[in-house]
Amino acid sequence: MLFNRTQKNPVRIADKGVVEWKYAACGYCSTGCSIEVGLNAKGRPVASRGVAEADVNRGKLCLKGIFEHELFDSAGRGTHPLMRDNWHEAWQPADWDTALDRLHGEIVRIQQRYGRDSFAIISTGQMLTEEFYTLGKLTRGLIGTNNYDGNTTLCMSSAVSGYKRSFGSDGPPGCYEDFEHTDCLIAWGSNLPEQHPIIYWRMKEAQEKRGFPLIVVDPRVTMLAQNAHIHLPVTPGTDVVLMNAMMHVIFEEGLEDRRYIDANTTGVDALQAEVAGYNPAMAARICGIDEDTIRNVARLYARAGAAMSIWTMGINQSTHGSDGVVGINNLALVTGNIGKPGGTSLSITGQCNAMGTREWSSCSGLPNYRLLEDPGHREEIGAFWGVDPDFFPKQRGLYQTDIYPAIESGQIKGLWLIATNPMSSLPNTARVRKAMENLEFCAVQDCYQDTESAQYAHVYLPAGTWAEKEGVMTNTERRVNLVKPITPPPEQAKPDLWIFNQVARRFDTNGTLSFPEKPAEIFREMTVLSRGRLADISGMSHELIEQCRGVQWPYTQEQAESGEGPPKGGKRIYTEDATFSYPDGRARLIPLPFIDNNEVPDEAYPFWLNTGRLIEHWHGRSKTGKIGNNNKYSPIPFIEINPDAAAEQGISMGEYVRLVSRRSDAVVMAMPTQRVPKNMLFLPFHFHDCANRLTLGLLDPYSRQPAYKQGAVRIELISDQKAAARMSMEMRKF
């Protein structure tokens, strides 16, 4: 006995009576942790634990993963298909055949009456890849609407666009292991400890061993900024100016890597000419970072043996989102930091399978990064699926953020929402609401029945979620991992794959196209289509993926057949010499002139409104709002406000205030904290009818992603605090 029982109580872990552990990849964020869910003797999920031998998380899980088994029978799950004639009427239960016939009938009716593109489909980054691929085949091959997009336009579209502009293709080049090799890390607009806790743990462990400098660019003092060697509280929306000024210093001081630039890129002269205009003293006035700090950071980054950048929504969600990504890539390319261990430009993805949808959903093109614009790609996929290539559109259709205005204007009449909740997640809720009311027909397919968007649906299709289904997901570092069915969907709810196959059958009564029912079979079909492509998965199978706890792409059939031991897959997708996806193999250095085009604070609306996330919650809280251990941390909407600003406005801790923007208003609790500067409020967007009532969401010109993080608001005091508290408690929802 190491301790004396009379002095100390030993910690006892409650015995949940687990008789079997089942494997899955976590269904929340894009970190891609391997998880095991414990089932008790009755077969009910009662515990979650991390998988020790999984390279990603090495036994760890975060606050969301550790309670993930509680999702299965949480409140609000949809158990039966529902229907009604008008969205303001009461729901009537329906059987699956009736509900699916209605969906099929309405798609056909609307397309016949108003044209093929008048029916829109919006999907997600939160289904399994085989489901994405099947939905893509159904939409591109049978339904034929070109207005088909994912919620990834709200999230990863700037990263996709920036990668394509710089490297000729989407696909994050680096991996988590790069933290173990880097000599300098810049994190742009990314709050890793809260939003990707296990990637943070991997980074922190590497940093504690080797002590490389961590530079955090974020207007807030986030948890990551608290851990930084240098924190750059950039003026919102001006990162591109900071990047240009850093490159100015790099060229001025001869710190660029000429050999790399000459061998691997084009466009250096135009870039150099552009950044010549951004001397740090001038740039400081725009981006808010002083000249010395800009010089210091530029030198640290350029002189490091290997330097890397990571970024998330602070960059993507801006009117300069795509340019911000290109700017990060420019910095990496001029210093020779793409394609070597520790030298990379790694977009940290958001949702668990945002990568899977980019690779396989056909939302913006055809499977595996093929393009609608390329006649060869249309021919190839047409022949493979058995679809006349002329049936495919010749260029991509509207982005999600352009679909909504098209609903408002009456150009789009019908909508099928799959695993996304725009009433909570799109900017400017009042406009979204108007659009939803305008629809002749809307179907919502969600694992929860109580989402805000379902209020406007004519048909509700109850879906299974996460490990009620089988299939793969791709994480931030291109690792394909497996989700296995741990428990069946509740009552009559069905896996999304089943739903897509049933709809396909209604469009393709002759069975001309093949829609396999088994995820492993669909995966095999995908491996064939991936051969020789950037995202080559031809060496993978469900079994191999489970055995390895995830395999990174590319992993080819040749590698699998070479018998070289357990597959490591592709850690990096570009090497140090000219392997980029442009025909000449070279990356593009692109000049980025800066135009200030955001809504900025003024006298009437004096505060920046910055919106984002908390560790304990997931988006619209359809999941975490129902899990007590998550929801208790922040059950009601609140703002971070600087204590000096609070004092000036006469607001004390815990007081309810009204935020007003040019769009609408929202009631929140004030939480004074030094995390935000005096002219900024930070509002988590997890609460219903709150943050996005206020946001404007100007769009990036390349990626059409909304600038959720730059808007202006004022604060009004509320005299009736009790009424405000009641209102806020109602928003607890659960």
Ligand X SMILES: Nc1nc2c(c(=O)[nH]1)N[C@H]1C(S)=C(S)[C@@H](COP(=O)(O)OP(=O)(O)OC[C@H]3O[C@@H](n4cnc5c(=O)[nH]c(N)nc54)[C@H](O)[C@@H]3O)O[C@H]1N2
Give contact residues for ligand SF4 (rule: CB under 6 A): 26, 28-29, 31-33, 57, 61-62, 64-65, 196-198
Binding residue for ligand X, selected from 358, 478, 572, 619, defined by CB under 6 A: 619
**Measured distance CA(22)–CA(483) in Å, rounded:** 10
Q: Minimum CB separation from ligand SF4 for residue 61, in Å?
A: 4
Q: Minimum CB separation from Mo ion for residue 208, in Å?
A: 29
CA distances from 189 to 64, 134, 318, 321, 380 (A): 22, 34, 11, 11, 39
> Is the CB of residue 250 less than 8 Å from the CB of residue 612?
no
Q: Minimum CB separation from ligand X for residue 72, in Å?
A: 12
Q: Which two tokens stand for residue 271?
A: 């870039």
**Measured distance CA(708)–CA(574) in Å, rounded:** 32
Q: Could you give the 3-state DSSP secondary structure of residue 693?
A: helix
Q: Minimum CB separation from Mo ion for residue 366, in Å?
A: 24
Binding residue for ligand X, selected from 106, 274, 359, 496, defined by CB under 6 A: 496
* Residue 365 in contact with ligand X, rule: CB under 6 A: no
**Span from 61-69, 297-305, 347-355, 511-519 in contact with Mo ion (CB under 5 A):** 347-355
Considering the complex, state which of residue 209 and residue 518 has its C-beta at the smaller distance from ligand X.
518
**Measured distance CA(522)–CA(500) in Å, rounded:** 13
**64, 68, 28, 77: which is closest to 48 by C-alpha?**
68
Q: Which two tokens stand for residue 108?
A: 């056909």
Q: Give me the helices (H) in 276-362, please.
A: 280-287, 291-303, 313-316, 321-334, 354-360
β-bridge pairing 607-612 and 712-717: antiparallel
Considering the complex, state which of residue 59 and residue 405 has its C-beta at the smaller distance from ligand SF4.
59
* Residue 617 in contact with ligand X, rule: CB under 6 A: yes
**Measured distance CA(680)–CA(218) in Å, rounded:** 12
Q: Minimum CB separation from ligand SF4 for residue 537, in Å?
A: 20
**Span from 164-172, 419-427, 551-559, 565-573 in contact with ligand X (CB under 6 A):** 419-427
Q: Minimum CB separation from ligand X for residue 354, in Å?
A: 7
Compose the 128-167 pattern: x for residues touching ligand X by CB under 6 A, - for all others. Answer: -----------------------x--xx------------
Binding residue for ligand X, selected from 48, 337, 361, 421, defined by CB under 6 A: 421
The residue number with the shortest CB distance to ligand SF4 is 65
Considering the complex, state which of residue 350 and residue 462 has its C-beta at the smaller distance from Mo ion.
350
**Measured distance CA(169)–CA(581) in Å, rounded:** 6
**Measured distance CA(496)–CA(109) in Å, rounded:** 23
* Residue 425 in contact with ligand X, rule: CB under 6 A: yes
Binding residue for ligand X, selected from 553, 618, 638, 687, defined by CB under 6 A: 618
**Measured distance CA(472)–CA(524) in Å, rounded:** 12
Binding residue for ligand X, selected from 164, 358, 588, 709, defined by CB under 6 A: 709
Considering the complex, state which of residue 196 and residue 478 has its C-beta at the smaller distance from ligand SF4.
196
Question: What per-residue string of b and e applies to 37-64 under the rule 16 or more CB within 10 Å gives b?
Answer: bbbeeeeebbbbbbbeebbbbbebbbbb
Q: At what angle do helices 321-334 and 239-252 cross, to 10 degrees?
A: 20
Considering the complex, state which of residue 235 and residue 264 has its C-beta at the smaller distance from ligand X.
235
Considering the complex, state which of residue 350 and residue 519 has its C-beta at the smaller distance from Mo ion.
350
Cα 540 to chain centroid, rounded: 25
Compose the 283-322 pattern: x for residues touching ligand X by CB under 6 A, - for all others. Answer: -----------------------------xxxx-xx----
* Residue 78 in contact with ligand X, rule: CB under 6 A: no
Residue 343's beta-bridge partner residues?
Answer: 340
* Residue 350 in contact with Mo ion, rule: CB under 5 A: yes
β-bridge pairing 587-588 and 265-266: parallel
Binding residue for Mo ion, selected from 47, 56, 155, 666, defined by CB under 5 A: 155
The site for Mo ion (CB under 5 A) is made up of 155, 350
The site for ligand X (CB under 6 A) is made up of 29, 124, 126-127, 151, 154-155, 188-191, 194-196, 217-220, 222, 234, 236-237, 239, 312-315, 317-318, 350-351, 418-422, 424-425, 445-448, 451, 463, 465-466, 496, 610-613, 615, 617-620, 622, 685, 691-692, 695, 708-709
